[in-house]
Amino acid sequence: MIYTKHKIIYVNFNYSKEYIILGLVDGYEIYKIDPFQLKIKKKLNKSIGIIDILENTNIIIFSGNDSNQYYCNHNNIVLYDDNKNKEIIKISCESNILNLKITPKYIIAVLIDKVVIYNHNLCVINYINTGNNIHGIISIYYDDNIMKYGLIGNDKGNIILGNDNLFSKKILQVHKNIVNNICFNKSGDLIATTSIIGTIIRIYNVNNNKLIKELRRGSSVTRILNISFNDISNILVCSSIKGSIHVFNTGLNNELNKIENKKIKYLSKIFNNLPINSLSSYINSEWSFTNYQNNILFLQILFHNNFIYAISNNGKFYKIKINNNGQIEIINILFLMDEQFSPFNIKNN
């Protein structure tokens, strides 16, 4: 979630990876990612908080802002028809909404300590109690047959995995510290996670709960803002609060045989025959095969159709490519708003 001092309240990619959605102080705007173009610009004279769009349709779901004088506050959900300029349904939740997702079958609301799953009439189908989730962390996988979810667990280092089956919920220990990122791959059989320490990314098989890969972003503690698989899951990308993007070869479905993740050379050979401990684990870690760093923060990233799309804290939209030599190449940089400056800030609490 991204907040700003001025017109933009919220920015994110939608679930189907087609659009960038802006919640504004007086309405909303929706941009197609590729080719980049403004698709919808709506003035409602009402502040729009968290917002999502149902695939390539006119159906919008959003929550509001306390400046709306009780029309639509942080704990309200509005299902809205953009073509008819008409509110379809509005309901209130028991606490502030921290994230919203809409799929062809479900609407999902993330609250501070639970996730509520609704049908499109905003009738409750299920709710799942979670750990304290101040950043609204959730990952979902959806196709015509099933929806899977990944949520913050009640205990430190745990996540909750489940699907449409009300009795499918299971707990998976993924880190020693509090989890701060969860991301399904495109096929829904893998999930990547990071903790608040921000040094390690772990990839799990969600069918058998087995750890299949561990990747190292770095050695210093930081906040990883986003993680994202590419469409065939052989590349994973992450962005951190240090202003960096790191790109890893997952070793899965591999078309990157010529590009390997970096390791600490020479020393790793010495430690190969030593007992496993934190130092030998560190020495043998797989590091990103390429990275990009600037004095900007990439607050939202998405890997789709062989390109990385990123929204930065300077109000710009980046289209990025991994070239044949495994290096990051900036293809295009565009402003999200008409103004030539958009002062993005991260919500820190």
Listed by start position, the domains of the chain span 2-346
pLDDT at 5 over 60: no
- Predicted TM-score (pTM) of the model is 0.87
pLDDT band, residue 1 (cuts 50/70/90): very low
CA 17 to chain CA mean position, Å: 11
pLDDT band, residue 343 (cuts 50/70/90): very low
Cα 28 from Cα 6, distance rounded (Å): 14
pLDDT digits (tens, 9 = 90+) for 40-92: 999 988 889 899 999 999 999 999 887 776 678 889 999 999 999 999 999 99
pLDDT digits (tens, 9 = 90+) for 251-277: 887 766 567 777 754 344 444 444 455
Higher local confidence (pLDDT), 99 or 45:
99
- Angstrom distances, CA of residue 197 to CA of 178, 181, 225, 326: 8, 11, 12, 27
80, 21 contact by CB (below 8 A): no
Cα 218 from Cα 200, distance rounded (Å): 8
pLDDT digits (tens, 9 = 90+) for 174-183: 999 999 999 9
Cα atoms found within 13 Å of the Cα of residue 178, Cβ hemisphere only: 12
Domain 2-346: CATH class, spelled out: mainly beta
pLDDT digits (tens, 9 = 90+) for 168-216: 999 999 999 999 999 999 999 999 999 999 999 999 999 999 999 999 9
pLDDT digits (tens, 9 = 90+) for 311-331: 988 788 999 999 888 889 999
pLDDT at 340 over 70: no
pLDDT digits (tens, 9 = 90+) for 17-41: 899 999 988 899 999 998 898 999 9
pLDDT at 280: 47
